[in-house]
A = this chain, B = another copy of it.
């Protein structure tokens, strides 16, 4: 490895409010100081959530440092032999796993997909393999292509799938970090998951990352905390209203947003929350919405209904943009309000997507018990845990948003079109 840096030379510590001191190698310090990683300082972790939780101003930068730290703890504690280089790679992969996030994180995702034909994970891979960052990675003696795969959990190292799973699986370092971190910064008291207990009981089973059955209660806590975080934060009515508005502003200004026309990762990396926000504010098409946002004149939820597992059919109906638009038109007509002031939101859909959403679906986490002689015996988690089983269904929320003055009319109209919902916000898991 070049440049006088090395994976086993320690540069120093960074202070983290969750884990105390995070030790950095020289290699990590060098990569952290690249513009690609530094840019994450200006990408909010939870765009929109700050309107409900004033303290939720944390960024992707803080999160990737945390994920890197946890990846190191997993690598150190797994009872398999890993080389120092493998440990360094897995930490780097965690550090870089979100490097491709667009401004406002997940909020931007449908635009990425529509205009650049890539989701944020594709973007991470693209950035790692094909930007100035790639040069730094290579100069440090690492394979940028390999890291670009491992960083999204898709390295083709077939014999060690568990390395991918540390980065991307139902209990990866990404999820463990964000559940605890989002709880810390919002103040929402659901996230005191004992992630270290989970990590200390991890092992490799048939090549896959697996959890000892003794940590099953902790795993249940993690899964439930994630669900709670969805309900309390990501799917919160007012958070979604902010996101709907930002998304609409983006859509209105899309022709003036050069980010949607980038052809190289380094062009893409020039965009962050600050720049997009300022652009939207300066743009005559989106300015009105941005003014509403800065005045906290949020859209109001006029109708809400939650569908469970069996309703996947229903969900798939809403997924279709033209179907959704037809329903919006129908509601607007019945309510005698402008069509532009009726918006259907289905949080699990791509409209305002969360890549997590799909993962609330069926869970297949490798679990093992040990027999008397210490051998690991694979177990079936949904047989063992009723909590996991019941949480493994699909949750879809359908909401209709409108302006405050149209709330009552739209509420009535939506009830007629989409069916009476006996409770405004009743259904729970």
Please list the residues of chain A having a beta carbon within 8 angstroms of any beta carbon in chain B.
Answer: 13-18, 20-21, 32-35, 38-39, 41, 50, 52-55, 57-59, 61-62, 65, 183-194, 196-197, 200, 213-214, 216-217, 220-221, 224, 228, 231-232, 273-275, 277-279, 281, 294-296, 308, 369-370, 377, 379, 384-387, 389-391, 393, 423-429
Closest to A386 in B: B390
Whether the pair A221, B217 counts as a contact (CB closer than 8 A) is no
Report the Cα distance A296→B30, complex, angstroms. Answer: 10
Report the Cα distance A66→B41, complex, angstroms. Answer: 25
Closest to A369 in B: B423
Whether the pair B50, A54 counts as a contact (CB closer than 8 A) is no
Least CB distance from A372 to B in Å reads 8
Whether the pair A16, B277 counts as a contact (CB closer than 8 A) is no
Q: Can you list 23 A-B pairs, Cβ within 8 angstroms, ordered by A?
A: A15-B186, A17-B184, A17-B185, A20-B187, A21-B197, A38-B295, A55-B185, A57-B58, A188-B194, A189-B193, A190-B217, A192-B192, A220-B224, A220-B428, A221-B224, A221-B228, A274-B274, A274-B281, A278-B278, A370-B424, A379-B426, A385-B429, A389-B390
Q: A41-B50, A220-B428, A379-B423 are in contact. List 11 more A-B contacts (CB 8 A).
A: A14-B54, A16-B55, A20-B187, A54-B62, A190-B194, A191-B192, A214-B425, A217-B228, A369-B426, A384-B428, A386-B428
**Which of B17, B33, B426 sits near A186, CB closer than 8 Å?**
B17
Known contacts A186-B17, A196-B20, A221-B190; decide if A425 and B213 are in contact (CB<8 Å). Answer: yes
Whether the pair A296, B54 counts as a contact (CB closer than 8 A) is no
Give the 10 A-B residue pairs with the shortest CB-CB distance, closest first: A17-B187, A192-B192, A278-B278, A189-B194, A216-B428, A57-B57, A54-B62, A189-B192, A33-B296, A385-B428
Residues of B within 8 A of A393 (CB): 386
Whether the pair A424, B197 counts as a contact (CB closer than 8 A) is no
Residues of B within 8 A of A58 (CB): 55, 57
Closest to A193 in B: B189
Residues of B within 8 A of A275 (CB): 278, 281
Known contacts A187-B17, A220-B429; decide if A423 and B213 are in contact (CB<8 Å). Answer: yes
Whether the pair A295, B187 counts as a contact (CB closer than 8 A) is no
Report the Cα distance A216→B231, complex, angstroms. Answer: 11
